[in-house]
Amino acid sequence: GAGVSQSPRYKVTKRGQDVALRCDPISGHVSLYWYRQALGQGPEFLTYFNYEAQQDKSGLPNDRFSAERPEGSISTLTIQRTEQRDSAMYRCASSLGGVLNTEAFFGQGTRLTVV
């Protein structure tokens, strides 16, 4: 597509349920990033991929969070046994990567609310 697409845009879930957030990056972009953003704050790094390889997952808060990008394109961020503190805006971004790694293009985000 023309831009980074995230779905769903809004997700309300009950505490303890699992959720899966989807990111469809710009076609041809090598690198894909997941961030979490609190209102009025900068994006907090979670994890990123080059192609299908997860390069760095040091930002994932705990083992309830996982991400995959099996075919090097679409990525899914999964949160198991959700807790209220997981409520946030989750943003995905992609970039060309490599020596052209000079701009991250962001999606509209998924607003997750855990009740």
Partner 1 sequence: TQLLEQSPQFLSIQEGENLTVYCNSSSVFSSLQWYRQEPGEGPVLLVTVVTGGEVKKLKRLTFQFGDARKDSSLHITAAQPGDTGLYLCAGAGNYGQNFVFGPGTRLSVLP
Site residues, partner 1 (CB under 8 A): 4, 30-31, 33, 35, 40-45, 48, 50, 55-56, 58, 91, 93, 95, 97-99, 101-109
Q: Would you say 12 or 51 has its CB closer to partner 1?
A: 51
Please say which residue, 28 or 40, places its beta carbon nearer to partner 1.
40
Q: How far is the CB of 64 from partner 1 (least distance, A)?
A: 21
CB of 40 to partner 1, least distance (A): 6
Residue 110 has phi, psi (to 5 degrees) of -120, 120
Q: Which is nearer to partner 1, 11 or 91 (CB)?
A: 91
- Minimum Å gap between C-beta 14 and partner 1 is 25
Which are the contacts of 26, defined by CB distance < 8 A and separation ≥ 6? Answer: 1, 2, 3, 4, 94, 105
The nearest distance, CB 91 to partner 1, in angstroms, is: 6
Beta carbons of 19 and 110 less than 8 angstroms apart:
no
Cβ-Cβ contacts under 8 Å for 27 (sequence gap 6 or more)? 1, 73
For the purposes of burial, counting CB atoms within 10 Å of the CB of 42, is it exposed (0-12), middle (13-18) or buried (19 or more)? exposed
